[in-house]
Copies of this chain bind each other. A is one copy, B any other.
Amino acid sequence: MLPPQLSGIAYGGDYSPEQWPVEVQEADIALMLEAGVTLVTVGIHTWALMEPAEGTYDFDWLDEIIDRLHAAGIQVDLATPSVAPPAWFSYAYPSALPVTRSGQRLGYGARQSICPSSPDYRRAAAALVERLGARYAGHPAVVLWHVYNEYGAPQSECYCDTSRAAFHTWLRARYGTLGALNQAWGTSFWGQQYGAWEHIDVPREGPTAVNPAQRLDFARFTNDELLACYRNERDILHRLDPGTPVTTNFAGTINGKATDLWTWAPELDVVANDNYLTAERADNHIELAMSADLARGVAGGGPWLLMEHSTGAVNWQPRNIAKLPGQMRRNSLAHVAHGSDSVLFFQWRASLFGAEKFHSAMLPHAGTDSAIWREVVRLGTDLRGLAEVAGSLVRTRVAVIWSWPSWWALELDWRPSADLSYRRQLDLYYEALWREHVTVDFVAPGADLSQYSLVVAAHTYLLSAEEAGNLAEFAASGGHLLVSYFSGIADEHDALHPGGYPGALREVLGIGVEEFHPLRAGETIMLTGGHTGQVWSEPVRSAGAEPYWTYLDGPDAGHPAVTRHAYGDGVAWYVSTELTVAGLRELLADVLAGAGITRPGFPDTVELVRRHAPECSYLFIINHGEEAVTVPVDGVDLLDGTRREKEIKVAGGATAVVREPA
Binding site for B on A (CB under 8 A): 16, 18-19, 45-49, 52-53, 81, 84, 86-88, 90-91, 98, 102-113, 154-155, 185-196, 198-214, 280, 312-313, 315-316, 318-322, 324, 351-358, 360, 364-367, 370-372, 413-419, 493-496, 498-501, 503, 512-521, 539, 555
CB distance from A22 to the nearest CB of B (A): 12
**Of B18, B190, B419, B500, the contact of A319 (CB 8 Å cutoff):** B419
Q: With A109-B206, A518-B319 in contact, is A356–B189 under 8 Å at CB?
A: yes
Determine which residue in A111, A190, A415 has the highest number of CB atoms from chain B within 10 A of its CB, and name it: A190
Does the CB pair A415–B512 fall under 8 Å?
no
| Copies of this subunit | 3
Determine which residue in A364, A416, A513 has the highest number of CB atoms from chain B within 10 A of its CB, and name it: A416
Chain A interface SS verdict (over half)? loop
CB distance from A571 to the nearest CB of B (A): 25
**Of B47, B204, B517, B555, the contact of A106 (CB 8 Å cutoff):** B204
Does the CB pair A199–B87 fall under 8 Å?
yes
Q: With A98-B207, A280-B521 in contact, is A312–B191 under 8 Å at CB?
A: no
Does the CB pair B208–A555 fall under 8 Å?
no
Does the CB pair A416–B320 fall under 8 Å?
yes
Does the CB pair B312–A515 fall under 8 Å?
yes
State the CA gap A209–B204 with chains docked (Å).
24
Contacts of A355 in B (CB 8 A): 189-190, 208-212, 413-414
Does the CB pair B111–A208 fall under 8 Å?
yes
State the CA gap A211–B351 with chains docked (Å).
13
CB distance from A108 to the nearest CB of B (A): 5
Q: With A203-B107, A319-B518 in contact, is A416–B211 under 8 Å at CB?
A: no
Does the CB pair B107–A104 fall under 8 Å?
no
Does the CB pair B49–A213 fall under 8 Å?
no
State the CA gap A313–B538 with chains docked (Å).
13
Q: Who on chain B is nearest to A353 by CB?
A: B186
Q: With A112-B207, A370-B514, A372-B515 in contact, is A45–B189 under 8 Å at CB?
A: yes
Q: With A206-B107, A372-B514 in contact, is A315–B365 under 8 Å at CB?
A: no
A–B Cβ pairs within 8 angstroms, 11 of them: A45-B189, A48-B195, A91-B198, A109-B192, A154-B207, A190-B355, A211-B354, A315-B416, A320-B516, A322-B515, A358-B415
Contacts of A352 in B (CB 8 A): 186, 495-496, 498
State the CA gap A16–B354 with chains docked (Å).
49
Does the CB pair B319–A45 fall under 8 Å?
no
Contacts of A98 in B (CB 8 A): 207
CB distance from A409 to the nearest CB of B (A): 11
Does the CB pair A201–B353 fall under 8 Å?
no
Q: Who on chain B is nearest to A107 by CB?
A: B204
Q: Who on chain B is nearest to A282 by CB?
A: B520
Does the CB pair A113–B514 fall under 8 Å?
no
**Of B111, B195, B316, B515, the contact of A88 (CB 8 Å cutoff):** B195
State the CA gap A194–B90 with chains docked (Å).
11
Contacts of A320 in B (CB 8 A): 416-417, 516, 518
